[in-house]
Amino acid sequence: MKLKYLGHSAFEITTGEYKILIDPFLVKAPDYDCSGVTDIFVTHGHADHLGKAPQIAMKTGAVITAIFELAKHCSRYGVDVNGISLGGWIEYPWGRVIAVPAFHSSSSDDGAYTGSPVGFIFDVEGKKIYHAGDTSLNSEMKVIGEIYHPEYSILPVGGHFTMDIPHACIGAQWLNTKNVIPMHYNTFPQIETNIDGFKAGIEKLGMNPVVMKIEESIEI
């Protein structure tokens, strides 16, 4: 399995013949080749997370998985959607996913309500990856750490709209995770941060900081 960073909060998971996109706001990777994308996951309705999800789905036939109201919003484009909510595991040919709470807001550019913001835990090839979406530090991370034990946790660190670096370090502790990947930073002036502080903070906890470059892939 490979994980590729596409900037901001966008990632691609590749496993076998499946290509899974998360929050495809691709301003940092404008030349990304979306051919072969089979699934798209969107954490909430804000434009910097929904991105071009409907357009990519129209082009590739990918299914968009999102919280029910956001999935319904995306269905207006005539694409296949999988509307879910917080609760049990959702099964896919390549693994399974569960939606977990995120503490943020969610609406479309035109002001439509797009349901509750969420994070996703991906269980693929026997490993769990937690993509937190946009969120503040919250005690749900203790529950995620206790129940799901993610090997990789992808956390926002830019502050202003989400957790900052100190809060992300606390969240990493609560998640009891092995590897921590930062996201949602240095895209806009409000979320500029010194990522070296993240690396130092995570290393101090005895965990592995994984700071990925745009379009870099790692084996998981």
112-136 per-position pLDDT tens digit: 899 999 999 999 999 999 999 999 9
For 89-95, what is the mean pLDDT? 98
Residue 178 resides in a domain: yes
CATH code where residue 128 lies: 3.60.15.10
pLDDT of res. 107:
86
Indicate whether 108 pLDDT > 90: no
In a domain, 82, yes or no: yes
Q: Give the residue numbers spanning the domain of 69.
A: 2-212
Residue 220 lies in a domain: no
Phi-psi category of residue 160: left, alpha or beta, with phi > 0 → left and psi -120 to 50 → alpha: left
pLDDT at 64: 99
pLDDT reading at 98 higher than 90 = yes
Buried b (16+ CB within 10 A) or exposed e, 83-122: bbeeeeeeebebbebbbbbbbbebbbeeeeebbbbbbbbb
Residue 88 lies in a domain: yes
Structural domain count of the chain: 1
Q: Is residue 219 part of a domain?
A: no
Does position 62 have pLDDT exceeding 90, yes or no? Answer: yes
Residue 24 has pLDDT above 90, yes or no: yes
Q: What percent of the chain has pLDDT over 70?
A: 100
What is the tens place of the pLDDT at every residue in 130-172? 999 999 999 999 999 999 999 999 999 999 999 999 999 999 9
The rounded distance, in Å, linking the Cα atoms of 45 and 105 is 9
45 located within any domain? yes
Residue 218 in any domain: the answer is: no
Q: Could you report the per-residue pLDDT of 180-195, keeping only the tens digit for each? A: 999 999 999 999 999 9
Compute the mean pLDDT over every residue in the chain, rounded to the nearest whole number. 97
3-state secondary structure of 123: strand
Cβ of 23: how many Cβ atoms within 10 Å?
27
pLDDT at 53 over 90: yes
Task: Report the pLDDT value the prediction gives residue 112, as an integer from 0 to 100.
Answer: 83
**Residue 120 domain-assigned (yes or no):** yes
Which pLDDT does position 124 carry in this prediction?
99
Question: What mean pLDDT do residues 42-66 have?
Answer: 97
CA-closest candidate to residue 2, choices 18, 17, 10, 13: 13
Question: Stretch 46-68: mean pLDDT, rounded?
Answer: 97
